[in-house]
Amino acid sequence: MKVHKSLPKTKQTSKRQQCKDKWFKPNRIPQNSDSSNLSPSTAMAKLEHHASNLRKDKPNLKRLKKKAKAVSFRQVKTLAATERTPSRPLTNGRAGGPEQGSDSDESQDWSSFAKSVLYQNGGGESMEGQESCVSAKAAPGRIEEAAFVHCAERDYIHNRTVLVMQQGQTLCFRGKCLLSCLYGRVEVHGFTLEEGQQSYPLFSPSSHCPLTVTALGDSPNPSKTKKAGRLEAKAIVRKYLSTETRKRLLSEVDSDSCVILLEPLDTPLTRFLTSFPDLKELFGLSSRDIRDSSAMLDTPLSGLGITPLRKTAGGMVMSQTYREALNGLVNACAEELDGCPVILVCGAKNVGKSTFNRHLINTLLNHTASVEYLECDLGQTEFTPSGCLSLSTVREPLLGPPFTHQWAPEHMIFYGQSSCETDLDRYLESLKSLWRLYNRETPIVINTMGWVKGFGFQLLVDIIRLFSISHVVQLSSGDKVMCPQLTPEFLRSSHGWQTHPPVQSALGEDNSGTHPAQRSYTLFSIHSEFEGAGRPGEMRHQRSNEQRDLALLGYFSQLQSPEPGPVRPLHCFTPYQVPHSAVAVGVTHCEVAPTHVLYTANASLVGLCCLNEKVSGRGSPVLLSQTPVCPCVGFGVLRGVDMARGLYFLVTPVAPSVLRQVNCLLLGAVTLPNTLLTGQTGILGEPPYVTMDYSFELTGAGKLHVFKGLARPGQMKHAK
């Protein structure tokens, strides 16, 4: 797949459809006129009209050149080199912007004379304080509390805030908001937002690392002067703020400034999650933020559901090896010397694999229309509830944790458990069936489990061999070695669960039976340096089981109405009636007596699957004797079984047109969150399927503990 250079504007429209999955870079529309030759009023009107047209006509796709730029590896300039020219005081006491001044000798003499007069009249101290304040506002780094007075203004009528950021400044926050880039460019978790693009929702809950918005300045455009850019940015500020509120903000606008619009975010997801008592403060401050007094509570952003954080809140920490791996992968995708890169990310638990995957995908989406994502981690999935393996096409940036983007992947297989130690072969066969659906036309990111010892390591070796990996990203933390370095030389002598050295085949490469030798790959080793790396989360909503519950709640939030209104509990939705003879029912994680299967499935989470063969019964339930490897289109809650009428009652957000393909209901070990059943409102008496009359002292009533390193009888033959 070759890299296409930017086409002229006359040819770009005809080639756009052909370059759908190629690499793109935006082309800024050149200025048609030089505003410096016009009067101030005429130039302002034309620039404001041009800015509105530019936001409408600017393409969203991007084209990458031969050599990709370094990702988040910009060297921050010194304060003297990056700060803006401070406003020069005029003789009448007003602070004039740079456009009102001049760099001529006469202007400098008048400026020196004005300063000397002010100093002689006792104004030297106040003038010095004013210049230092402006320098602090323009300095790169985290925006602090005092700077918000100068760079942010709240529009109380429309309930929104306009924020002016200088190049290199950052905004780290907790909460949720809708961000629109009005002028310049900003970066959020690797994704670059530019003027003219759509608004994007940002989610920064207390359960994850806070998001950071970084100002990148305006896009380079040789045909536009600094004065024209400054006038264009000021015209945008005038459009979104009234005369009284924009005065102070206009003095902060420069040609390299970024102007962003922040609005409150109210979605069915946020309304549904915050309706539960335990999750009301999910998008608030974490206990660490409160302990370290990191929050800035009195800012123009407070009323929008956003709480800026001080420097004491570290934000995302990227080590040197992290940056080098990210840059190397972006360059590899740009070169495309040997097909599209196949990137596998591996490492032990809690080393930052999911965060790196989102950052990598967002960075790649700056240059390509889509990125493929193969989910191999059953416990901490990205786009689906846990217990599923999936192949997804990512076209939108991931600007929040997994529970904020529970999408329907293009291909999904229901495994039914958060770990695969009970059936390793079915796990690998499921992954193989998904891999055969990959078209190899776009880069793909493969996420793996944090199980890197024993049989988990053998599965990792199999995945690298079977899927023809081109780049391996291995994350680690601390000094303890959890997994050996997966160099190509080490892999040649390693034993997998299904593959053994020497390896002479790659999955799907050749159907004739003669396969080429395994291709080599590039290894990137990342040492995670963030606080708590390698240790499970200790704060609220950070434990793995809580993350799985949040993903399920995020999925079932799709049942809620998109219009604002009260949240409807689970029992308020009208269920689908499914005849017993139309679908087969199976249990994936254990053996259940046929007479007890329906008791087990009642009030449980089920996978909605599609078998290749037709299901037909004579009015009685159809039960599966073996667990199939078949496509899954979504999830539902089997809220009731009517044996008299032979009906299942199913609640699901899946569309009816898709449900017509479903002929199998699979029950796994993934259970519904307790709060989904206990938090239902409007019920007289006890909630259904909830009881307090239960004794954990009975044999078998407690939790079953599983030891992953213990070999089972079915695995002994492979361990020889």
* C-alpha distances in Å from residue 91, one per residue of 108, 111, 118: 13, 9, 9
For residues 196-228, one letter each, b for 16 or more C-beta atoms within 10 angstroms of the residue's C-beta and e for the rest, the string is bbeebbbbbbbbbbbbbbbbbbbeeeeebeeeb
Least trusted range by pLDDT, from 21-35, 236-250, 328-342, 628-642: 21-35
Res 176 pLDDT > 90: yes
Res 27 pLDDT > 70: no
- pLDDT score recorded for residue 714: 52
Rounded Cα–Cα distance for residues 650 and 658 (Å): 14
pTM: 0.78
| Residue, of 642 and 74, whose pLDDT is higher | 642
Mean confidence (pLDDT) of the chain: 78
Q: Are 368 and 24 in contact (CB under 8 A)?
A: yes
Least trusted range by pLDDT, from 205-214, 245-254, 348-357, 510-519: 510-519
| Structural domains of the chain, with CATH | 145-308 (2.60.120.1030), 321-499+519-530 (3.40.50.300), 569-679 (2.40.30.330)
Contacts of 171 (CB under 8 A, 6+ apart): 142, 143, 163, 165, 212, 213, 308
How sure is the predictor about 80, in pLDDT bands with cuts at 50, 70 and 90?
very low
What phi and psi values does residue 307 have, to the nearest 5 degrees? -125, 105
User: Of 63, 23, 73, 6, whose CA–CA distance to 443 is shortest?
Assistant: 23
How sure is the predictor about 713, in pLDDT bands with cuts at 50, 70 and 90?
low
Please report, rounded to a whole number, the percentage of residues in the chain having pLDDT higher than 70. Answer: 74
Reduce the DSSP state of residue 441 to 3 states and report it.
coil
Reduce the DSSP state of residue 237 to 3 states and report it.
helix
List pLDDT tens digits, range 592-603: 999 999 999 999
- pLDDT score recorded for residue 71: 43
- pLDDT score recorded for residue 704: 61
User: Of 555, 353, 631, whose CA–CA distance to 472 is shortest?
Assistant: 353
Q: Are 8 and 27 in contact (CB under 8 A)?
A: no
Rounded Cα–Cα distance for residues 287 and 282 (Å): 11
Res 284 pLDDT > 60: yes
List pLDDT tens digits, range 83-100: 333 333 333 333 333 333
How big is the chain, counted in residues? 720
Res 339 pLDDT > 90: no
3-state helix, strand, coil in the chain (%, to 5): 30, 20, 50
Mean pLDDT of all residues in 80-85: 35
How sure is the predictor about 338, in pLDDT bands with cuts at 50, 70 and 90?
low
Res 5 pLDDT > 70: no
